[in-house]
Amino acid sequence: MSPATVATLGVEHFGDAVAPLVLLAGGTTMLSWPDTLCEALARGGRHVVRYDLRDSGASTTVDPDAPAYTLRDLAADAATLARQLDDRPAHLAGIGVGGMVAQVAALDHPDAFSALTLVGTRPVAPGPADDDLPDHDAATMQQLFSHPMPDWSDRAAVAEFAAAGAEILGDDPAAARTTAERIWDRTPSTEPAVQMANQLGMVFSKLDCTPRWRGRLPELTIPALVVHGRRDPFFPVGNAEALAREIPGARLLVLEQAATAIPGAAADEVAAAMLAL
């Protein structure tokens, strides 16, 4: 079968509960979900599973430069994983670009999910935002993307690159450095430069993300939580406000001191809000 329909996903489990909670990765593989949050959710009685998307981490890697799958395939991966975990629907959570996949997964596979959490994301695909949505902060993006690329085979250089990017975005540079080191350490040895570049940036700009799904958000009937950093310059908080308006009954939790990442200090607050669903 083609890589668009078959993939082996690298997964990590937390807790011994049976109620499944699936964490869809953002731009830094499964490690975009902090350990502290995963552990707090597990203590709250959830079987927490975070996983790497295709072409990153321990999941199937074919050609990150030319993905032979679509956003819908990534959404189907989440649904398949949820069904394999338990006969009951799972709570699905997506962060960053993974939040886009999570929205499509919940819409396309409503029987697979019982609740939805969206963190630091927006209701449209990568690229220009809708006119009513705030786009990336231009000055921040210019500074971020003018930063020279590192030697992706050099662990220390990659870690410093990630820390510098975090500082530009308003995230914790030390936490970003540690996460990048962990990603580098678990990157497959084949074509490490391509893998590392992908795992810190993902391939979403190369994916087929059609058709648009924003107009379908009112179809969602499961409990939903939208979490967003007040200081996020990548997806400004107006994107979260739009999601919370357009998903029926959704709760909006704004983290006043956060930017694009979930700070360690906010893990308990976010976990409590997710568990309340």
Residue type, 213: W
Is-contact 15 52, C-beta < 8 A? no
Is-contact 67 218, C-beta < 8 A? no
- Does 251 reside within a domain? yes
pLDDT of residue 197: 58
Instruction: Give me the tens of pLDDT residue by residue for the chain, a chain 277 residues long.
Output: 334 556 899 999 999 999 999 999 987 689 999 999 999 999 999 999 999 988 888 888 777 778 889 999 999 999 999 999 999 999 999 999 999 999 999 999 999 999 999 999 999 998 888 999 999 999 999 999 898 988 888 899 999 999 999 999 999 999 999 999 998 888 876 555 555 655 555 567 788 999 999 999 999 999 999 999 999 999 999 999 999 999 999 999 999 999 999 999 999 999 999 999 9
* Residues in contact with 61: Cβ distance below 8 Å, sequence separation at least 6, in sequence order: 54, 55, 188, 190, 195
Q: How many domains does the chain have?
A: 1
Q: For strand 251-255 and strand 90-95, is the pairing parallel, antiparallel, or unpaired?
A: unpaired
Is-contact 196 187, C-beta < 8 A? yes
- 131 burial via Cβ count (<10 Å: 0-12, 13-18, 19+): exposed
pLDDT of residue 3: 41
pLDDT of residue 198: 58
Q: How far apart are CA 209 and CA 214, in angstroms?
A: 12
- Does 171 reside within a domain? no
Is-contact 260 230, C-beta < 8 A? no
Is-contact 39 17, C-beta < 8 A? no
Classify residue 160 by its DSSP letter.
Answer: H
Domain that holds residue 123: 11-136+203-276
Q: For strand 113-119 and strand 224-229, is the pairing parallel, antiparallel, or unpaired?
A: parallel
- Does 173 reside within a domain? no
Distance of CA 88 to the CA centre of its chain: 23
- Does 6 reside within a domain? no
Residue 203: closest CA among 62, 85, 108? 62
- pTM: predicted TM-score of the whole model, two decimal places: 0.94
- Does 188 reside within a domain? no
- Does 194 reside within a domain? no
Q: The domain that contains 17 carries what CATH number?
A: 3.40.50.1820
Among all chains, which residue has been given the structure tokens 């994983």?
81
